[in-house]
Amino acid sequence: MSQPKLTIVGMGLIGRSLGLALRKSQPEFKIVGHDKDGVLARKAQDMGAVDKWERNLISAVEGSEMVVVATSVADVRDVFESSAPYLSQNCVVTDTSSVKGQIMLWAQELLPETVHFVGGHPLIAAQD
């Protein structure tokens, strides 16, 4: 049986912290990271927050059982829209945005009915 794949989109402080926590608590997951900023993505891999990083969002989310969107609120809509056709059936999608109203509307509008969206909330909010 292959490792379950989990993708974190956004390798800022929250995305990297989540990756490190998951690495400790769920070592069976293959954690893939994606960020438009390759420097942040490489930093996440170098520190062990992700097993690998993908420059291409589609490659990052394909085959994932869970996708965590840890980007700025301004980028969430684009991530939902771009990744929606490539999300696996029964994939769980969550976000780390501190606001929920607009995120929930975008999820309902843009994500396929074959995935499960669960709105999340960050435990930290500082930028690095």
Decide the pairing of beta strands 30-34 and 66-69: unpaired
Structure tokens at 60: 């990052």
Average pLDDT, the chain: 94
Sheet holding 92-95, edge to edge: 52-54, 30-34, 5-9, 66-69, 92-95, 116-118
Domain interval for residue 90: 5-118
For residue 16 the two structure tokens come to 């990297």
CATH of the domain at 91: 3.40.50.720
Q: Does residue 127 sit within a domain?
A: no
Instruction: Quote the pLDDT of residue 89.
Output: 98
Residue 38, φ and ψ in degrees, nearest 5: -60, -30
Distance CA 91, CA 109 (A): 17
Give the number of domains in the chain.
1
Check pLDDT > 70 for residue 12. yes
pLDDT tens profile 21-38:
999 999 999 999 999 999
